[in-house]
Structure 1
């Protein structure tokens, strides 16, 4: 089932405003619970976690900046 353009825009907004800040809090909490690794290893963990969140949401963010394709055309 594919989402409509309007639904994808709403889910993208929800992901950026609600889910991403929660993900950041969880990621920082999880990394802080492990023993303090070397600076470069910690940096790599944060970079990997910073990129990892985008892959499952890629389909939601695709094309939302373009005009609604289902909207009636103005002639």
Structure 2
């Protein structure tokens, strides 16, 4: 996958996918019986991290310069 496509996919994941996942996670958490307070916080932390694990490869290197771009001399 090219750098440009990965950048577009990362933006799509952050703008569309992440809010959809938040709605999903809150819906799931509200449909189960109330968890004990000591377990509720670690569950939300886990759910907050779990969405990014499958998409880790998309976000790696996005903030760096495009490696596919032609190199220019800066003399």
Query: 2-side partners of 1:37 and 1:53: how far apart?
Result: 21
Matches within 5 A, 1:1-75: 3-75=1-73
Instruction: Tell me the C-alpha RMSD between the 2 structures.
Output: 0.7
Unaligned runs of 5+ in 2: none
Instruction: Show structure 1 runs of 4+ deviating over 3 A.
Output: none
Give the superposition deviation at 1:40.
1.7
Flag structure 1 segments of 5+ consecutive residues without an equivalent: none
Aligned residues: 73
